[in-house]
Chains A and B, each alone.
Chain A
Amino acid sequence: MDPEAARTARESLDLAFHMSNILDTGLDRHTLSVLIALCDLGVNPEALAAVVKELQREPSPSPPMSTAPSSIP
């Protein structure tokens, strides 16, 4: 990876992180970078958003497995 590309990538991540903050997504820099990588791999952003939402709410004591099947059509 050449330094130019690394710089561009970092700047992009910065910009995305800024936007994320403005939009109040509650994501930290690292998570965001993982998400961007996943997006780059062509994962559906809607699905990603759903994962983020589900797992961020995880603190509830009920295990997600019990409710997951019913939530998926």
Chain B
Amino acid sequence: MDEEEQNKLIDLVKELVHRLLSQSPQSQQNPQNPNFENSFRYALRILSSRLTPSIAPDAAAIAESVKRRLATQGKSSDALSFADLFAKFSSKTGPGSVNNKWAVIYLLKIISEDRKSAKNVVNSSTLLPNLGVHELESKNDSRVLNGKEDKQLGWRQNGVLLVNKDPENLRDVAFREFVNLVKEENEVSEEVLVRDVLYCCQGIDGKYVKFNTMVDGYCLSDLVKVPRATRVMVRKLCELGWLFWKVRGYISESMDRFPAEDVGTVGQAFCAALQDELLEYYKLLAVLEAQAMNPIPLVSESAGSGNYLSLRRLSVWFAEPMVKMRLMAVLVDKCRVLRGGAMAGAIHLHAQHGDLLVHEFMKRLLRRVCSPLFEMVRSWVLEGELEDIFAEFFVVGHPVKAESLWRDGYRLHSGMLPSFISQSLAQRILRTGKSINFLRVCCDDRGWADAATEAATAAGTSTRRGSLGYGETDALETLVIEAAKRIDKHLLDVIYKRYKFREHCLAIKRYLLLGQGDFVQYLMDIVGPELSEPANTISSFKLAGLLESAIRSSNAQYDDPDILDRLRVKLMPHGTGDRGWDVFSLEYDARVPLDTLFTESVMARYLKIFNFLWKLRRVEHALIGAWKAMKPNCITSNSFTKLQHAVKLQLLSTLRRCQVLWDEMNHFVTNLQYYIMFEVLEVSWSNFSNEMEAAKDLDDLLAAHEKYLHSIFEKSLLGERSQSLFKSLFVLFDLILRFRSHADRLYEGIRELQARTMESSLSSRDKKKSLRQTNDMHTKPGSWLSDGRKALTQRAGEFLRNMEQELDATANEYTSLLEGFLAQLPVQQHVDLKFLLFRLDFTEFYTRLRPSV
């Protein structure tokens, strides 16, 4: 701008100011007042402040907008004449015409609008004279923006129309909305997309972003044209919506299912925890939405567009919720079919994560999820209550009878055992609760409650609810260990002191395992004749009476009457031809709660041991009986002096034979008896006593008792592996019993023979006496009395021969059987059986007999 033009401009402005001021009524009187100077400077300031117009210089467009506005204001004739004038005005070209036509038109338009708005608004606000200017500026700003957009879009009129904020002009408002609509159809602004994404993240379909069942996810509809990058980003952001939808679906499904099906407390806790997490998520969404609605201008003017929340910002905001939501969705997927402890375990598997965020989140979640589980553990360990309506706990109770409560009443359900509780801890938990229940049901004991309280205080947690949580496995372990220690101790106290387990075991050992010698001896004596009868003629009542008298006449009478009360006679089911010996047995009645220890199977094994020992005793008894019969043989040898030499020799050899055989058998039986009594029963008992002292809980005790029984069973050759040995032993026993009857017959015969020879020797001296004796003898059938001396000798020889033969046969059989038995003995695994062998073959007699072995 050169000097001349500048001067011209100044002059023109001065003129303009002058003209304008002269119009106003007050300043008309004094045109040269200082007001003029001020106004002029003000005008120059305004002009210099804005050098470029804010819209594109397009006269036609401006004129069009003016025409429309006039038309909408109802001045259609004005509009027409304006259009006419404008056509003429714009057609004026060449020298002398106005160059900046658009500027003139635009100027007129603005002045006209200003006047109108001044009439409507400014009149009421005279205190704010510059409001108009301010308004204009803001309008200008928006005009700049819109003008630029218009250029891009090719909607020329918009720029001008949008400026109009006339509240009267409803059409304009509507039109603006229409323009927005058209714009959106073509191309979606980011603002709208953000809003849609926010909707999707709440599981609601947006305007453009909708759930697509084909791809199973939210995505932008294909009709909308957006850059590929935006589309991908929207898709990524909407994953959150998909995940949210999934999690919420699970929660509502579970909650709907709840009354009808058993979701379980753990499932409910899980849902509640998820719900809380979703609440956090809702809060975030609400904040984001508020932010999206309230555009916050940024510091830099250039980027100061309205949409504060862009897709990129959203993706940053969503980063953390996305991680959480993804985790939740994974958990929901995993837990859909799981319940209770299994669910907690599955969730726990996800908690082992290096990411601190995930770790914290999972911990919070698990704390909620596991709380019912831990509560169950607590009440189970401290109160023995199985509060598990939905079968979620890893301890399962079965309704059983009292005696099998300990063994079968409660089981570990490994499927429900969460992995953060170790197997050993679970076992301990199971046993502690079981102990409490055992005490309560079987022992009728109340003392455990004190033990439980004591344990709780010792572990540092009170007995109130909810004091344990996930992540405090140590605390749980301490609690369980403390509780287990005290309750087990209490249980053992009850079993030992109140129910006298030890005394009962001792009683069983004494009576059932024949440890009480005098009692057994006496019982054997008085029951023996009765038991020789066939089994079906024996009365158990009579036997019970005999048992009673055996107790009364032995030291057993000083025993506890409670224990003696439990001792019974039992007759086993018998077959044809069974003798009383085969069916007789003693029984010990273990009542509740000891029947947990002395179960039926245990008692059956005791019975088996008893039968074996009883047989051994019987054999021993029989041999002693034989010994009694044999004892007076010194007399016999003297009394046979009158016999023939051959017969005498025969007699002596037979007797000798019998003695030797008896001795051999006695050696065997005595040693076996010794072995059973001292090597087996007493040693096992001693071990058992020690273990009983050391037992920490009922399981230990059961194991010790089991071990005790097992060792007796195995060492007494009753086990599975020594079946054949046991059989040959029984054959031996039978043979010995047979020998006893032989020996009895032999000695009976000898005594009779002795009587005969005595009589025959006496007959010459004392006829009378012999006659009386003869008469006496006459009553017996098959007597030798009527025969002469020769016949007597003959018969004696025959008898002795027979007996000798039988003895020989018995001896041979015995030798071979014993040999077989001894040969089998070293094959056995038991170390203790070696002692038996050593004892039986102490002099190496049998080894030398069979040099081959």
Contacts and interface: CB of A to CB of B under 8 A. Distances in A.
Contacts of A72: 45-46, 49
A48 B108 contact: no
Interface in A23-37: 23-28, 30-31, 34-37
Interface residues of B, number: 72
Nearest to A64: B42
A30 B108 CA distance: 14
Interface in A53-68: 53-60, 62-65, 67-68
A41 B95 contact: no
B23 interface: yes
B12 interface: yes
B111 A25 contact: yes
Contacts of A51: 13, 16-17, 20, 42-43, 46-47
Given A4-B96, A34-B12, A58-B27, A28 B136 contact: no
Contacts of A26: 111, 115
Contacts of A35: 16, 104, 107
Contact of B97 (A12, A31, A53): A12
Contacts of A27: 111
Interface string B65-109: 010001000000010011001101100101111111001111111
B39 A55 contact: yes
B589 interface: no
A21 B136 CA distance: 22
Interface in B27-43: 27, 35, 38-39, 41-43
B799 to A, nearest CB: 153
A60 B95 CA distance: 42
A72 B43 CA distance: 12
Contact of A25 (B94, B100, B115): B115
A20 to B, nearest CB: 5
B460 interface: no
B299 interface: no
Contact of B89 (A7, A19, A30): A19
B294 interface: no
Contacts of A31: 16, 19-20, 23
Contact of B96 (A5, A43, A48): A5
Contacts of A5: 94-96
A48 B88 contact: no
B66 to A, nearest CB: 7
B115 to A, nearest CB: 6
Contacts of A68: 42, 45, 130
A49 B113 CA distance: 10
B47 A45 contact: no
A23 B112 contact: yes
Given A52-B111, A68-B45, A22 B85 contact: yes
A55 B17 contact: yes
Nearest to A31: B19
Contacts of A63: 35, 38
A54 B5 CA distance: 25
B89 A16 contact: yes
Given A18-B85, A19-B82, A45 B92 contact: no
B779 interface: no
Contacts of A49: 107, 110-111, 114
Nearest to A13: B98
B826 interface: no
A39 B25 CA distance: 27
Contacts of A22: 70, 78, 81-82, 85
A70 B107 CA distance: 24
Contacts of B13: 38, 51
A47 B96 CA distance: 24
A12 B137 CA distance: 30
A29 B635 CA distance: 182
Contact of B130 (A28, A30, A71): A71
A62 B46 CA distance: 18
Contacts of B100: 39-40, 42, 45
A43 B33 CA distance: 27
Contacts of A41: 5, 8-9, 12
A12 B47 contact: no
A23 B25 CA distance: 23
Nearest to B82: A22
Instruction: Give the contact-size bracket for chain A.
Output: 35 or more
A52 to B, nearest CB: 5
A65 B109 CA distance: 27
Contacts of A4: 94-96
Nearest to A59: B24
| A12, A63, A68 — most chain B CB neighbours (10 Å) | A12
Given A23-B109, A28-B23, A47 B49 contact: yes
Contact of B133 (A19, A23, A71): A71
B46 A15 contact: no
A58 B39 contact: yes
B97 A9 contact: yes
B105 to A, nearest CB: 7
Contact of A50 (B46, B88, B108, B116): B46
Most buried by A among B46, B47, B94: B46
A53 B78 contact: no
B47 A44 contact: yes
Nearest to A9: B96
Contacts of B645: none
Contact of A56 (B24, B98, B134): B24
B308 to A, nearest CB: 23
Nearest to B54: A46
Given A5-B96, A9-B96, A22-B78, A36 B39 contact: no
Interface string B748-786: 000000000000000000000000000000000000000
B126 interface: yes
A45 B136 CA distance: 13
Nearest to B140: A46
B424 interface: no
Contacts of A67: 129-130
B493 interface: no
Given A15-B88, A50-B133, A54-B46, A65 B16 contact: no
Contact of B39 (A19, A20, A47, A64): A64
Contacts of A39: 98, 100, 103-104, 107
Given A37-B12, A41-B5, A54-B133, A6 B96 contact: yes
A55 B21 contact: yes
Contacts of B111: 20, 23, 25-27, 49, 52-53
Contact of B95 (A2, A15, A28): A2
Contact of B51 (A1, A30, A44): A44
| 9 pairs of A and B residues whose beta carbons are closest in the complex | A5-B96, A23-B112, A49-B110, A8-B96, A45-B107, A5-B95, A39-B103, A55-B20, A9-B96
Given A39-B104, A55-B20, 10 more contacts: A4-B95, A12-B89, A31-B19, A31-B23, A41-B8, A45-B104, A57-B122, A64-B39, A68-B45, A70-B130
Interface of B: 5, 8-9, 12-13, 15-17, 19-21, 23-27, 35, 38-39, 41-43, 45-47, 49-54, 66, 70, 78, 81-82, 85-86, 88-89, 92, 94-100, 103-112, 114-116, 118, 122, 126, 129-130, 132-134, 136-137, 140
22 contacts: A2-B95, A15-B88, A16-B104, A19-B108, A22-B82, A24-B116, A25-B111, A31-B23, A36-B104, A38-B16, A39-B98, A44-B52, A45-B107, A46-B106, A50-B136, A51-B13, A53-B136, A54-B132, A65-B38, A67-B129, A68-B130, A72-B45
Interface of A: 1-2, 4-9, 11-12, 15-16, 18-20, 22-28, 30-31, 34-60, 62-65, 67-68, 70-73
